[in-house]
Chains A and B, each alone.
Chain A
């Protein structure tokens, strides 16, 4: 703790990715993850793989139970269906339109549940921090949305038609149009990219900040360990505040997954219905 209240290097091991799992002390301190074909596995990778497996194990049986349009039975399956129906009817269809919505529904469902479960995994002790607290993860998800958006737009309007449609139609004299339309095109394309960058950064910042604040709060306990009276007060306060923040994080996990999916649906909808 030399020179700083909380050891940030130690904290980073709990908040960011790493190639080892921190276990309860009675089980041993660390569990090293192996390398597969030269690729060092990390906690985030394991979490993503687990999330993918969980999603597969949840939704394939659900699809089997719903085949033929039959209503599902059981509280858990109904809860899952409520999530799916809400996203489809209240987010995807209003954003993209009933005609095109079903083509993008599987992608947006995958996106929402992947982000949600990644966010929630960060709240499970010893399971590893949330992969959505890493730029690499959120950037890939935003880039995937960008690819779906551009690809579907170009498929619908053609390559030229799609990019041409980024410029709002204006009845300008040709002399003005020569200067203004390229500028508008450049602004729209840059805006296009920025929107997706922001999509990635928003999710990253929210998840990373939440975990960091929680880690710092709990780090205060270790930082005051050499002063007994202070340590007791700080421990009680830190635990209660951390508990409250965990509840907030639970809400943020759902909220950020919803926001990412909602904005992705709006962007796709904008690409499907040009100016």
Chain B
């Protein structure tokens, strides 16, 4: 193993093991250095107007306050806030992804509805056309039936008229014959009563006609 690799591995090992302890040791070193300054310095809190005057008590105080403040805030405030911000970012990304998915789903659904609507319109058009065709066919059939019925009725009426005419003619003929017979009977009776010879002649003619 090369010397550089050994140094590298040992330094990584030390920094991992002593990573957190490093900050603490530096802080302690700072406090010790400040304390030494404080012992060496006779300046108290009432320093003169010298911006570069070193105040060890204030330095130690500041280091302690700042370190405690940092630890407390990192534990109870800023650490949780960083996590909350990360979580908020994740939530926002998840919400954005969900919104995009919902948008895509809605568009797809809209497309489906549009297709369904188009299909429905096509279906309605087809049904209307079919209905119109059926109606036309039915109307034609009804008209034909009506025409046929009218023709039949007319034919039947003509037959009925003919039959009625025939019956009427027969009745007229019968009535006429009866009237003629009655009239002839009356005339003959009057003639016979007036001229018996001529009456006998008429009977003979009539008998001859019947025999023929």
Contact = CB atoms under 8 A, between A and B. Distances in A.
Interface of A: 8-9, 11-12, 15-19, 39-40, 42, 44-45, 48-49, 52, 55-56, 59-60, 62-64, 66-71, 84-85, 88, 102, 105-107, 109-110, 114, 131, 133-137, 139-141, 143-144, 147-148, 151, 154-155, 158-161, 204-205, 208, 212
B73 A62 contact: no
B74 interface: yes
Given A147-B27, A154-B15, A161-B11, A135 B55 contact: yes
Nearest to A105: B82
Contact of B74 (A9, A15, A107): A107
B22 A137 contact: no
Contacts of B138: none
B22 A151 contact: yes
A63 B84 contact: yes
Contacts of A154: 11, 15, 22
| Chain B interface helix/strand/loop/mixed | helix
Given A69-B90, A140-B66, A158 B8 contact: yes
Contact of B69 (A11, A17, A52, A102): A52
B22 A155 contact: yes
B89 to A, nearest CB: 8
B80 to A, nearest CB: 4
B78 A105 contact: yes
Contacts of A143: 30
Contacts, number: 176
A204 B58 CA distance: 14
17 contacts: A11-B49, A17-B55, A17-B58, A42-B45, A42-B57, A48-B61, A59-B81, A63-B76, A69-B90, A106-B78, A107-B70, A131-B62, A135-B52, A136-B54, A137-B62, A143-B30, A158-B11
Contacts of B87: 68-69
Nearest to A61: B77
A17 B61 CA distance: 13
Most buried by A among B58, B67, B87: B58
- What 10 A-B pairs have minimum CB-CB distances, sorted nearest first? A12-B49, A69-B88, A69-B87, A158-B11, A106-B78, A59-B77, A136-B59, A66-B84, A136-B58, A63-B80
Interface residues of B, number: 55
Nearest to A42: B45
Given A52-B65, A102-B86, A147-B23, A158 B12 contact: yes
Contacts of B62: 48, 131, 136-137, 140-141
A17 B79 CA distance: 33
Interface in B1-23: 7-8, 11-12, 14-16, 19, 22-23
A140 B63 contact: yes
Given A63-B76, A141-B66, A151-B22, A106 B58 contact: no
A208 B73 CA distance: 28
